[in-house]
Structure 1
């Protein structure tokens, strides 16, 4: 892992509510996510973790998870959906149960690092209309080996596929140096934070189905409602890229719907004129 540059954050930071949703996540991977948050986050800024069980099918995500979560009594709220909702609605369920100012949305297959949340809270405390993302490192899908990533910003192409672009050297100039927040056109979907009141004000994830494209939708909402997006190089979160479900018919259909909806609502004169939502209902 890359050595972090020292950067001081104020002691009077707001606290965060962290929403983690899961469906058929591997127990060890989910518990690795939760335990890394619990052990590497100062307790005075971690108000609670809201775990949303989106109708799991694995047995060890039932009583076994209940037993282990009990070790963190008072800091973890476990919500079990009575029917499958999909990632987006599950996140909204978790967000609706959160209080306080800062909402952190985190995938169930992550591993946080030391001093990961302090820069996030500091940035949002300075500007409540700012969406921020930690820099995403890579955890190998098979070995879970942690690999540091270069400093990149979030972007997307004309196919609305999320891409990562390198930062510019001049962005590291100034007193903050390599810890300076990087202005970003788009946020990542697996780890992002936003002021809860601002999230509600700009429409949350309204109209988005199941999974996919929600990070671009929220990015455009943020910019068009007067906010900004930044990547924080001094905050790092390891993330397992799961490619094995990429061809699932329901997910592909939801992703296409979400992207077409985004095109029609937000892209105005930049959209292809003949783009249609009609075939989605077939």
Structure 2
């Protein structure tokens, strides 16, 4: 019995020593490799070729151990040892290999293929794919708030990754606002490690666009932060002017030129046109416009970049805003009034997918759970003495005390400064009109009243309030000169004229008619449907340019008269620059209302509206005119705050 016990103990000890030696040796090698890379997880060095050799070495040691052990012992214990050895080898190698695809737990941000980020006030969990460089100095973090747009998200991430150099790109942060299934599933599978992708997720989402953007902005590590939609593609070199403008001034927002995206090729549609700048009215509604100035009153929405320092100093977005909308007016107005500016980068092109019912792929795949009045927060916080203009005096009942504290801390200016800074927009486009009025027919005594997209005649007590609007473009006629257009000026019958690819004899009046302005240029100029010599056009054109007004606008609205049909004027969103010829309407000295087609607004059978020849057209009267509250308030504010003409006006 004692001998058998000794043999048993001796065999057991040999069994443990051999098994430990055979499966522990590869494990020690793994530990040594990890220790040699203290700042990187296994997945980071696993991707290198040298690490592949390490995996090969581990496997060979395992095979060698199993083979050696099988020669030393036999019987049940030998078989058990062999089986135990093989299981441990497979388990160890499996765990090692899984480090490349599963995120190890961590309390702090680590570089590597995939690592868990610490939870914060906004995002419950996040991931990092690729390595972050340095402290972000000189580099940009691209923030993409996304919801239920898996394929679009992947395409957008890839386009930013492929078209932003590694020395410029700090990271791409996708903020998953509660998508189902989570966006990280496909992103981890399809985005290459060099993209430096981070995914932050709102597990209880959707929380809305503003909170998603706030989550991404607060987490950004780059010196600059660019916020872009989850369905865009930047042009190569998109970042150059954006970063240069941000380097010039920290308190700044930079907007790109926005093109149209072809979602089949995921690239910019050639010659698809660009938009960028926007204006805002007293109801906090906004629309596009363009001019030669680099500065913009407000922005359109999701495409804008800033510095991390200004993001932190200005507090990002109004914390009381939820859902979608409103930040595109609040954030730029906050920047303008608190010492910053908003600048357009004309060479930074980002193509954007526009949602349209014609292509079901573009329709949003989410629903807003609750309606939020974010624009009311903008007005309540920033309109100051102009607040009674918001929605006809229905003062919003919202708590903006935190924004008021921010205004005081940053020493922000009154809203009148914003209007004065952009007086070229607000004065010269008629948004601060000298008078508001109704338009009455001289023959019927009835006034124009809006109905759907057009107008009809009705009792003047219910007439629509209108005013002159939009800037005066090039070659816009003076009111007193319109009568000259009724009889087009006679050109020299023997004069050879270049109509723009069409040579004629007999002056500009001999140019081919019926083709519009494209057949009336070079030696000639198109003025209200009349092709006349440039010398004659100069006599009838108003000067200076870009003063008010070249159209007729509805008061407290985004709409202007646009196009003159057989049933009178129709409406469209105002082109405040006055360059849209369908929106060009004006009164002549006799009260006729001219349209750029060379025809005038008339009355048919005393009841209906029509268009017709100006020589015999209806005459109209401006009635019930008054100077509106906003214009009076602006004039008083100019005096009160000492606003001068030295301030830029665009």
Q: TM-score, normalised by structure 1?
A: 0.80
When residues 248 and 49 of structure 1 are mapped into structure 2, their CA distance, relative to the original with a 3 A threshold, is: closer
When residues 248 and 54 of structure 1 are mapped into structure 2, their CA distance, relative to the original with a 3 A threshold, is: closer
1:195 aligns with 2:307: yes
Tell me, in whole angstroms, the C-alpha distance in 2 between the residues paired with 1:276 and 1:266. Answer: 12
The 8 Å contact of residues 152 and 167 in structure 1, kept in 2 or not, is answered as no
Question: For 2:200, what is the secondary structure of its paired residue?
Answer: strand
Tell me, in whole angstroms, the C-alpha distance in 1 between the residues paired with 2:228 and 2:274. Answer: 20
When residues 245 and 34 of structure 1 are mapped into structure 2, their CA distance, relative to the original with a 3 A threshold, is: closer
Partner of residue 260, structure 2: 138
Partner of residue 228, structure 1: 341
Question: Once the two structures are superposed, what CA deviation does each residue of 1:82-141 show, in whole Å capped at 9, x if it has no partner?
Answer: 211221111111112112321111110101101101111110001111110111112257
Partner of residue 291, structure 2: 167
> Which residue among 381, 391, 394 is the counterpart of 1:274?
394
Greater RCO (CA < 8 Å, at least 6 residues apart): 1
When residues 274 and 92 of structure 1 are mapped into structure 2, their CA distance, relative to the original with a 3 A threshold, is: same
Partner of residue 114, structure 1: 236
Partner of residue 30, structure 1: 153
1:188 deviates by: 2.9
When residues 150 and 20 of structure 1 are mapped into structure 2, their CA distance, relative to the original with a 3 A threshold, is: closer
1:220 deviates by: 0.8
Question: Once the two structures are superposed, what CA deviation does each residue of 1:221-263 show, in whole Å capped at 9, x if it has no partner?
Answer: 1011110001111100011123645995646x22xx1101111
1:158 aligns with 2:282: yes
Question: For 1:204, what is the secondary structure of its paired residue?
Answer: coil
- More divergent stretch after superposition (87-96 vs 217-226): 87-96
1:204 deviates by: 1.0
1:77 aligns with 2:189: no
The 8 Å contact of residues 151 and 233 in structure 1, kept in 2 or not, is answered as no
> Which residue among 215, 223, 227 is the counterpart of 1:105?
227
Tell me, in whole angstroms, the C-alpha distance in 1 between the residues paired with 2:245 and 2:308. Answer: 14
When residues 120 and 277 of structure 1 are mapped into structure 2, their CA distance, relative to the original with a 3 A threshold, is: same
When residues 266 and 141 of structure 1 are mapped into structure 2, their CA distance, relative to the original with a 3 A threshold, is: farther
Tell me, in whole angstroms, the C-alpha distance in 1 between the residues paired with 2:387 and 2:354. Answer: 29
Question: For 1:194, what is the secondary structure of its paired residue?
Answer: strand
Tell me, in whole angstroms, the C-alpha distance in 2 between the residues paired with 1:224 and 1:140. Answer: 37
The 8 Å contact of residues 155 and 266 in structure 2, kept in 1 or not, is answered as no
When residues 106 and 249 of structure 1 are mapped into structure 2, their CA distance, relative to the original with a 3 A threshold, is: closer
| Residue ranges of structure 1 left out of the alignment (5+ in a row) | 1-12, 172-181
Tell me, in whole angstroms, the C-alpha distance in 2 between the residues paired with 1:202 and 1:51. Answer: 22
Tell me, in whole angstroms, the C-alpha distance in 1 between the residues paired with 2:342 and 2:376. Answer: 23
1:50 aligns with 2:173: yes
1:62 deviates by: 4.4
Partner of residue 494, structure 2: none
Question: Once the two structures are superposed, what CA deviation does each residue of 1:158-209 show, in whole Å capped at 9, x if it has no partner?
Answer: 33223111213xx4xxxxxxxxxx1110123221001111112112112211
Question: Once the two structures are superposed, what CA deviation does each residue of 1:4-38 show, in whole Å capped at 9, x if it has no partner?
Answer: xxxxxxxxx8100111111111x322111111101
Tell me, in whole angstroms, the C-alpha distance in 2 between the residues paired with 1:260 and 1:159. Answer: 8
- More divergent stretch after superposition (141-150 vs 211-220): 141-150
Tell me, in whole angstroms, the C-alpha distance in 1 between the residues paired with 2:244 and 2:336. Answer: 20
Q: Which protein has the larger Cα radius of gyration, Structure 1 or Structure 2?
A: 2
Tell me, in whole angstroms, the C-alpha distance in 1 between the residues paired with 2:189 and 2:263. Answer: 26
Tell me, in whole angstroms, the C-alpha distance in 2 between the residues paired with 1:74 and 1:235. Answer: 21
The 8 Å contact of residues 138 and 241 in structure 1, kept in 2 or not, is answered as yes
Partner of residue 297, structure 2: 185
Partner of residue 495, structure 2: none
- More divergent stretch after superposition (240-249 vs 197-206): 240-249
The 8 Å contact of residues 102 and 195 in structure 1, kept in 2 or not, is answered as yes
Partner of residue 214, structure 1: 327
Tell me, in whole angstroms, the C-alpha distance in 1 between the residues paired with 2:238 and 2:287. Answer: 23
Question: Once the two structures are superposed, what CA deviation does each residue of 1:59-78 show, in whole Å capped at 9, x if it has no partner?
Answer: 7x342222113x13561111
- More divergent stretch after superposition (49-58 vs 115-124): 49-58
Question: For 1:183, what is the secondary structure of its paired residue?
Answer: coil
Report how many aligned residue pairs link the two structures: 248
